[in-house]
Structure 1
Amino acid sequence: MTLFNFKTTSDISNWKIVDDVVMGGRSNGSFGLTNAGYGSFHGHVSLENNGGFSMVKYTFDTKHVEGFSKVCLHIKGDGKTFQFRIKTSNHDEHSYVCQFYTSNDWEIIEIPFTTLYPTFRGRQLHMENYPGKQMEQIAFLIGNKKAESFKLEIERIELK
């Protein structure tokens, strides 16, 4: 199942930036399409005013995912660490999270559902890992406890 396949004509209106400015920080992320048609999440993370993260989230109608066991990210990062996040419902406060490392090359990052652990505001929760039944939101977040510029290009996101 393909969750999103970026092209120059892709409608990215459901991809939204959430920066630490919601709590007083000064980070600024952007999301758009490159000339080649890839999704581009880029910007700068600032630690000013207790900030330190930038996120892009994609919300969609409920997808039932019982027949799948992992997420495959076709991406090109800038050598930094990012998080991939899933919400089973848009009403949930917590997300299921897995960190991944990027090289400076195109690669496929495979994230087994069983490795996605529950968090809320950066704290791990005492709950079971992602149950793999449904999802309504995915997101990419950068927050490495340092001020840094970042860029993550996304070709497509699939479930296998």
Structure 2
Amino acid sequence: MVRFLILLLIPISMINTIDIIDFGKSGNTNDWVIVNDDVMGGLSQSTAVAYENYVLFSGTTSLKNNGGFASYRSPYGNFNLKDLTAVEIKFKSTGRRFSFQLDAYRSWWYPNYKHQFSNNSDQWTTVQLPLGNFKEYKVGEQTGKKISQSQLENILRLGIILLDKEEGPFELQIDYIKFI
């Protein structure tokens, strides 16, 4: 008697390739989500509204109840960024300091990696954030380390976060995010 064992191998996670994330009604960001400090008792509030050529991420940050952050995040995936050099963002804002965030872990207490960006005018601005300059943060505090090449191979989530330790309203219009 011959027995056969058939194995079906299904990849747990496909490697996502990223060229450009186009925001707005014609874009590919309907599955991005808002994550605010209310997950830990904070009082900050934000929304994201898609317009024809951009998304408007806006709200109010509050430092009450040890809060103070608002974020707009991609769904979880598996992004390999090791062969890329920078993130390019075209945006317009009211002058607050935002960060582009790379998450290598699903748990909030593990490190994540951020690079700040801002502008002081209400004009469209394009910035390039070198991937090698992303700094490591743990529970909102900088550790003094930078992201490594091995960590760039296994990014689980992308996002925009406002964590500037200031209270008040904010607006950020994002046209696109491009990986180069």
Q: Tell me the residue number matched to 2:5.
A: none
Could you list the per-position Cα deviations for residues 37-89 of structure 1 after superposition, in whole angstroms to 9, with x for gaps in the alignment? 31111000012222111111112432222221111011111111111101235
The one-letter code matched in structure 2 to 1:27 is S
Could you list the per-position Cα deviations for residues 70-121 of structure 1 after superposition, in whole angstroms to 9, with x for gaps in the alignment? 1101111111111110123546732111111223211111110111011121
Structure 2: runs of 5+ lacking an equivalent: 1-17
Cα distance, 1:52–1:89 mapped onto 2, change above 3 Å: closer
Q: Which has the higher strand share?
A: 1
> Could you tell which deviates more after superposition, 127-136 or 75-84?
127-136
Structure whose CA Rg is larger: 2
Q: Are positions 1:108 and 2:126 aligned together? A: yes
The CA RMSD over aligned residues, in Å, is 2.0
Q: Tell me the residue number matched to 2:99.
A: 83
Q: Tell me the residue number matched to 1:16.
A: 33
1:45-56, aligned counterparts within 5 Å?
45-56=61-72
Distance in 1 of aligned mates of 2:80 and 2:165:
34
Cα distance, 1:91–1:27 mapped onto 2, change above 3 Å: closer
TM-score by length of 2: 0.79
Distance in 2 of aligned mates of 1:51 and 1:89:
22
The one-letter code matched in structure 1 to 2:164 is N
Cα distance, 1:135–1:46 mapped onto 2, change above 3 Å: same
- Partner-residue secondary structure (3-state), 2:114: strand
Distance in 2 of aligned mates of 1:46 and 1:99:
20
Q: Tell me the residue number matched to 2:135.
A: 117
Could you list the per-position Cα deviations for residues 130-152 of structure 1 after superposition, in whole angstroms to 9, with x for gaps in the alignment? 42324221111112222110011
Q: Tell me the residue number matched to 1:62.
A: 78
> How many residue pairs align between the two structures?
159
Q: Tell me the residue number matched to 2:116.
A: 99
Cα distance, 1:101–1:7 mapped onto 2, change above 3 Å: closer
Does the Cα contact within 8 Å between 1:118 and 1:130 map onto a contact in 2? no
TM-score by length of 1: 0.88
- Partner-residue secondary structure (3-state), 1:108: strand
Query: Between the two proteins, what is the percent identity of the paired residues?
Result: 23
Does the Cα contact within 8 Å between 2:132 and 2:146 map onto a contact in 1? no
Q: Are positions 1:155 and 2:175 aligned together? A: yes
How far 1:26 sits from its partner (Å)? 0.6
Q: Are positions 1:144 and 2:164 aligned together? A: yes
- Partner-residue secondary structure (3-state), 2:65: helix
Structure 1: runs of 5+ lacking an equivalent: none
